[in-house]
Amino acid sequence: MNAVVGYRNINALTARAQRKNCAPPVAPVYSRLMVALVCLLLIATGVGAGTNDWTTEFERSHGRRTFTYDETIEYCRRLDRASKWIRYQSFGKSGEGRDLPLLIVDKNGDASAERAHKRGKAIVLVQAGIHSGEIDGKDAGLILIREMAITRERAHLLDHATFLFIPIYNVDGHEHVRAYNRVNQNGPENAGFRANATFLNLNRDYMKADAPETRAWLALWNEWDPDFFADCHVTDGADYPYIVTYFAEGFENADPEVARWTRERYLPDITAGMRQDGFDLTLYGDFRSSHDPRSGIKSGPSTPRFSTGYVTLANRPALLIETHMFKDYASRVRGTHSILSRTLETLNADSGTLRRINLAADARAARAAAGADVIPLRFELSYADSVMMDFNGYQVDATKSDLSGGTWYRYGKSPVPLRIPLFSTQTVTAAVKLPAQYWIPPQWSDVIARLELHGVEFTRLEEPVTRAVSSYRLTKPSWVHDPFEGHHTVTFTTESLAETRTFPAGTVVVDTAQRRAKIVAGLLEPSAPDALVTWGFLDSMFEAKEYVESYVIEGIARDMLRDDPALRREFEAAKRDSAFAKDPEKIRQWFYDRSRFAEGRVGVYPIARIESAPQSAR
């Protein structure tokens, strides 16, 4: 039997099966005896008359259309009613009040995380439609579930795995349908919108967790603790022949054993399997020079605002699936189906190993604070080193546009084999040695609420404590002019700070000896790319609240110059900057900042690092 059955065969067999009052087979040829046996099997598993047409809208339309939200939910509910192996649940609500759909597929009917974990299964979470115009994964996943639990031709894929499937993550964007939502994409005709109802890109929200969808996803993730994660997308960017491309996190942001398993076990398996299915697989990435594959591919770790970057911080293997935008919708769905089914083949065969690796990764993360481990936070791509890789491209004609004046890329239609450089050498530009604990004063409630959403474990001080701590002073803050994902992000200079502070009762104590230690660092360390301070959750720390009248500081400044010769020399040096010398307000502020009246806490990071935790605070 072919690994992926085309929708034309499914449609033809559906009509024949309906006449026999049974669910449609999907193998190319069945004898009368085989059809009768299939009917009996489906009746025994709960599929009876009236539920025997499992054709999706994708199949009925010959790959031109996809289910609406309501049709998707109804199909999911039918799957639930038809098979004891399938459970449909809502794992939350969207901003517009729609249910967020989840299908749990398990041979034992285990619809709880606790039971699935007790049986030692690999728990696999696949999501589709985080960018709901890129909806290939929904149709591929629904067909795969039908094959596993209804027709059961792929039932073996559930032998050692529990399959969690989110057919539509961005449900509100999914219903914002326009024929022209995806200018770069070849189908479906009814494509949804990229952002959610409040115009947030959910694939930039995993750390700041502004959207109700993200908060529901985090609760689902913390409940189920999946062993493997895949996110289904469609590309933008250059044109090339590949139908399916991938990216798997495996840089220093990943646990080394998880990265090794991904590189040495998982990727060779799915690459070989998909080749058997008729799909060549290659690495997804940006090209060094815009839309020109010949310039080489850039590859590096995702920041944790993205799904795969977040899952990597959570010590799990993460796969990004990117089908190519110009390929027809039917081919893209079949390609997604292939990579998902091949993924389940590998995870079933290696479920025990993967679970052991994941548990060991959790333990290593929890021990990081007790050892000399340094957690990398930021990376920079180096172009000084590269390796050559085979890549199928098209002939590219890059000319200067007589319309825009920019470069106009035009692609041929015949594949051209290329040898191109892969740039993947990353330099760590920011890293941190974890403290034993972080202490967060209770008034910073938005920060504490985010920790709770991420499942971070913490306790609280029961009475005030005064102690020496280390922290940071953040200076030279600069906010972006335009909003990005609902925030005006801020950059700053970071200086180390050691001082004694008094913390009130209720202060949150985050012990870093926990499996989510890397997520804690990503949220609380200011140099992390998606730290909460960068997203603006602590903006008020940069604001001075006291001020001095101009005529008051004029007198104070003269006294300061008279009493401090070193300050006079510093002032004379500062005046060599003509812009400063001509600005009375800057001069007055200069003196105020150096006076005994200045606010000393502006820019002082309120979250403290406790390098060696007292026993009573653990």
Strand ordering across the sheet containing 407-423: 286-289, 292-298, 407-423, 387-400
Quickly state the pLDDT bin for 51 (edges 50, 70, 90).
low
Model pLDDT for residues 254-288, shown as the tens digit of each residue: 999 999 999 999 999 999 999 999 999 999 999 99
Reference 175, options 187, 192, 198; nearest CA is 192
Q: Where are the alpha helices (DSSP H) in 262-406?
A: 267-276, 307-313, 329-349, 351-367
Q: What is the pLDDT of residue 15?
A: 40
Q: Class of 56-350 per CATH?
A: alpha beta
Q: What is the pLDDT of residue 128?
A: 98
Model pLDDT for residues 462-500, shown as the tens digit of each residue: 999 999 999 999 999 999 999 999 999 999 999 999 999
CA-to-CA dists, residue 317 to 264, 308, 502, angstroms: 13, 8, 41
b/e map 84-95, b = 16+ CB within 10 Å: ebbbbbebbebe
Q: Which two tokens stand for residue 618?
A: 């653990």
Q: Domain spans of the chain?
A: 1-55, 56-350, 374-427, 434-544+602-617, 550-593
Residue with the larger pLDDT of the pair 32 and 18: 32
Does 201 score more than 60 pLDDT? Answer: yes
> Residue 203 is which amino acid?
N
Q: What is the pLDDT of residue 18?
A: 35
Quickly state the pLDDT bin for 615 (edges 50, 70, 90).
low
Percent of the chain at pLDDT exceeding 70: 91
Report which secondary-structure segment, H or E, holds 108. Answer: none
Percent of the chain at pLDDT exceeding 90: 87
Strand partners, 487: 484
Crossing angle (nearest 10°) for helices 329-349 and 267-276:
130
pTM of the entire predicted model: 0.89
* Rounded mean pLDDT, 407-422: 95
Q: What is the pLDDT of residue 52?
A: 82
Cis link prior to 529 (omega < 30° from 0)? no
* Rounded mean pLDDT, 398-414: 94
